[in-house]
């Protein structure tokens, strides 16, 4: 039973806002970790002479560990509670940054990738267990908006942080500075730990051989949710990894302008998430259709980018606008997953479903990297648009399956 179910009284805004802020800060640190190593790839190439293929394997290792760990972390969160797992994740980030600052070999950076991946793994089951239990029901749409917004800000702030600290103190001290940031976040979370407690799911007695904890995996809607995240993340990975060289190759823009466009995409996504929170709160029963419409609009915009119809500058603006469309659907997406989640299985379901993010991030470079090597830049954008269009069908499938399973339970 969730905390919200224990008392029907809506808690004061201040309490909900504090929980949103703490979880949002933790979520920002999670997205920040996605770029701990990739932002240093040019430095590593110059310092150690490694190739992009070797360095790209570090990112794949990070997301493989994170994906497998996320699917398993949900069980731990349901049994032990979200708070201790959250504290451990922050400690792993600190350890990863400290080790990165002393790295001398490729093997040591592989260990950094594993530690950071393990730290990143529990965040979605942790965050959503806390939000679903601690936030009053009428404000969940706003909570999901803050959650998505802070994650996007974590992505956007990482390049600024590492560019500044590396230029001032060098890359090794930049990692130490990142370790200090994670340590401060951990201290703040510990100080306000009373706002992060969650109830646990006690182990129920069952016959030998029964799979009570795994029963949720038999629900088709769970796999529809997983498929949605995998498909939508493939497109996000294409934009994050390849949009800069694609824009340079297709439109001849400078590296600075192409990078600024990617930053604009991230900040537009954050603004979209902010708007999407109000949309999710206003239309909670239409979450799957809101998500489908947003993904369809984003797919159309991305296809227009591939067409080159608007020329260099117009394409830059259209690509940045794609982030806004995807961002608006973010809070409704999280609400859609909540409605599809069986009672008492929040951590497990969110762990499995959101591992689709890591699978998408791990697979996308392997497929679209081949297109990039062949110079098929338009095909990359068109392919990403097509995959995003497939996610529209997955979102609508989640909505239909949720309604069907609720009808059967009734």
Q: What is the pLDDT of residues 170-214, one digit of tens each?
A: 999 999 999 999 999 999 999 999 999 888 765 554 444 444 566
Q: Give the pLDDT band of residue 4 (cuts 50, 70, 90).
A: very low
> What pLDDT sits at residue 295?
95
> What pLDDT sits at residue 403?
73
Rounded Cα–Cα distance for residues 370 and 360 (Å): 16
Long-range residue pairs from 182-189, CB within 8 A, at least 24 positions apart, any chain:
182/29, 182/90, 182/93, 182/94, 182/97, 183/90, 183/94, 185/25, 185/26, 185/29, 185/90, 186/87, 186/90, 186/91, 186/94, 188/22, 188/25, 189/22, 189/25, 189/26, 189/86, 189/87, 189/90
- For the entire predicted model, the pTM comes to 0.73
Phi-psi region at 49: left, alpha or beta (left = phi > 0; alpha = psi -120 to 50): left
Better-scored residue on pLDDT, 401 or 120: 120
Q: What is the pLDDT of residues 285-307, one digit of tens each?
A: 888 899 999 999 999 999 998 88
Structural domains of the chain in order of their starting residue, each with its CATH number? 11-137+154-197 (1.20.1250.20), 215-410 (1.20.1250.20)
Whether the pLDDT of residue 374 is over 80: the answer is yes
Average pLDDT on 98-107 reads 94
């Amino acid at each position: 039973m969730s905390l919200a179910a224990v008392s029907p009284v809506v808690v004061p805004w201040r309490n909900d806002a504090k929980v949103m802020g703490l979880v949002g800060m933790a979520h920002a640190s999670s997205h920040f970790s996605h770029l701990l190593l990739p932002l240093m790839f040019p430095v590593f190439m110059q310092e150690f002479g490694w190739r992009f293929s070797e360095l790209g394997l570090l990112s794949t290792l990070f997301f493989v560990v994170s994906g497998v760990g996320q699917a398993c972390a949900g069980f731990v969160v349901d049994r032990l509670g979200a708070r201790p797992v959250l504290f451990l994740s922050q400690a792993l980030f600190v350890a990863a940054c400290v080790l990165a600052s002393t790295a001398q070999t490729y093997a040591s950076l592989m260990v950094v990738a594993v530690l950071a991946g393990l730290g990143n793994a529990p965040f979605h089951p942790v965050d959503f267990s806390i939000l679903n239990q601690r936030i009053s029901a009428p404000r969940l749409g706003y909570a999901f908006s803050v959650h998505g917004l802070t994650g996007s800000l974590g992505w956007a702030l990482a390049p600024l942080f590492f560019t500044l600290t590396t230029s001032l103190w060098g890359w090794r001290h930049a990692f130490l500075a990142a370790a200090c940031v994670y340590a401060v976040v951990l201290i703040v979370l510990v100080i306000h730990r009373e706002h992060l407690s969650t109830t646990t799911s006690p182990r129920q007695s069952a016959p030998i051989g029964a799979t009570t904890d795994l029963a949720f995996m038999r629900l088709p809607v769970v796999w529809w949710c997983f498929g949605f995240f995998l498909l939508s993340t493939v497109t996000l990975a294409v934009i994050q990894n390849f949009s800069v060289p694609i824009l340079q190759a297709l439109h001849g823009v400078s590296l600075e302008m192409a990078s600024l466009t990617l930053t604009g995409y991230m900040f537009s996504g954050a603004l979209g998430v902010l708007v999407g929170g109000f949309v999710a709160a206003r239309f909670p029963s239409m979450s799957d259709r809101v998500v489908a419409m947003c993904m369809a609009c984003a797919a159309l915009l991305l296809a227009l980018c591939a067409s080159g119809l608007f020329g260099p500058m117009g394409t830059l603006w259209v690509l940045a606008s794609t982030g806004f469309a995807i961002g608006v659907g973010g809070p409704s997406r999280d609400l859609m997953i909540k409605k599809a989640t069986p009672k008492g299985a929040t951590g497990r379901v969110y762990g499995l479903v959101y591992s689709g993010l890591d699978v998408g991030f791990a697979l996308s470079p392997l497929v679209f990297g081949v297109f990039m090597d062949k110079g098929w830049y338009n095909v990359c954008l068109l392919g990403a648009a097509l995959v995003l269009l497939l996610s529209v069908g997955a979102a609508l499938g989640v909505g239909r399956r949720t309604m069907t399973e609720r009808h059967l339970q009734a």
